[in-house]
Amino acid sequence: MISVAKLLAVKPKGTIWSVTPEHMVIDALALMSEKNIGAVVVMDNEKLVGIFSERDYARKGIIQGRKAKSTPVSEVMTSKLFTVTPDMDIEDCMTLFSEKRIRHLPVMQGEALLGVLSIGDIVTAIIQEQSTHIQFLEQYITGG
């Protein structure tokens, strides 16, 4: 099974996109649009305090009449976080995605944020792993 550490190792370095709790929602949305991502982590100095996603904006922002230009991220972010550690594997991630109905998992080593895995990262890894197994089996069957 593929480990979280291995998945992080193949992601481009420096790809933790973050905002502070004081940033306005519009700033977070602009960053997400620019980077073509569905969520950003919310950091207070070096401490992870939340995650803000498109879903947060839809459910806690616009539907409730909040304005993106005047609402701080802290009012709409998800602060009850589910995280993983580098020694966990993609099966652990899939279990959390499914049971908690979430799409992004911060990867933590103690108090340090190492990265963020999305459900897309996990699905891509599973597809690649299955493709490798299929190629191996085809070579085995054909004697190649």
Q: What is the DSSP letter of 72?
A: B
Query: What band does 128 get if pLDDT is binned at 50, 70 and 90?
Result: confident
Provide the CATH topology of domain 4-142. Answer: CBS-domain (3.10.580)
List the 47-53 sheet strands across, edge first: 18-19, 39-44, 47-53
Query: What band does 14 get if pLDDT is binned at 50, 70 and 90?
Result: low
**pLDDT per residue over 52-81, tens digit each?**
999 999 999 989 999 999 999 999 999 999
> Residue 26 pLDDT more than 70?
yes
In the chain, domain spans = 4-142
Alpha-carbon distance of 70 to 113, in angstroms, equals: 28
pLDDT at 11: 85
| Residue-averaged pLDDT of the chain | 92
Span of 12-21, 43-52, 65-74, 115-124 with lowest mean pLDDT: 12-21
Cα–Cα nearest to 56, from 33, 40, 69: 40
pLDDT at 144: 66
pLDDT at 89: 93
Cα diameter, the chain: 65
> Residue 119 pLDDT more than 70?
yes
**pLDDT per residue over 73-108, tens digit each?**
999 999 999 999 999 999 999 999 999 999 999 999
